[in-house]
Amino acid sequence: MKLVERIEDRLVFELGAREYTLLERLLSFYPLRPEGAPTLSRSGGERMADAATLLGDALREQRVELAAWISSRLTEGEALLRAGSAWRLTLTLTEVDALLRVFNELRVGAWTRLGSPEDLREEVAATAPGQAPFYVIMTLAGQFEIFLLHALEAEWPPPPPNTPSPP
């Protein structure tokens, strides 16, 4: 995935066939988080239960909106256009933010499904076949997040090749 153009508030990316397939498959797992009220505190209490219920409702509503956005916007013919053997993804800055939220929720959801481990090593995930898909989802979503964050911070247009970086 490569940032190829920045036009005002739009970013244009080019994805190879493999990257497109990975993105499409990754987005098919959204939403991954378990339903129900999130845990806000281990000590509990009525106020915390009420707050958790409100937060859970808001998160469910956001998931529905983001899932609808993925279905309507991130399909071929809308934001994704085939360009020869590659794909072009055009997003506004607001849509980049939405996609970052989707990737983050996938990453956190996969981590939650892995049991919310404090120390997650690749060797451990690879030895538990039932957990391997969640490890892959978590890792891939994190890679897409990093790429989008770098694209947002990138100097545009990029400096010509062999130009020394500023100190």
Q: What is the pLDDT of residues 47-92, one digit of tens each?
A: 777 887 888 788 889 889 999 999 888 875 678 889 999 999 999 9
Q: What distance in Å separates the CA atoms of residue 14 and residue 12, rounded to the nearest whole number?
A: 7
Q: Strand 80-83 vs strand 2-7: parallel, antiparallel, or unpaired?
A: unpaired
pLDDT value for 167: 62
Q: Rounded to two decimals, what is the model's pTM?
A: 0.82
Q: Strand 86-92 vs strand 10-15: parallel, antiparallel, or unpaired?
A: antiparallel
Rounded to the nearest angstrom, the gap between the alpha carbon of residue 70 and the centroid of all alpha carbons in its chain is 11
- What DSSP element (H or E) covers 131? none
157 prior amide bond cis, ω within 30: yes
| 148 pLDDT above the threshold of 90 | yes
The residues spanned by each domain of the chain are 2-153
Q: pLDDT grade, residue 112 (50/70/90)?
A: confident
- What are 87's strand-pairing partners? 15, 82
3-class DSSP state for residue 88? strand
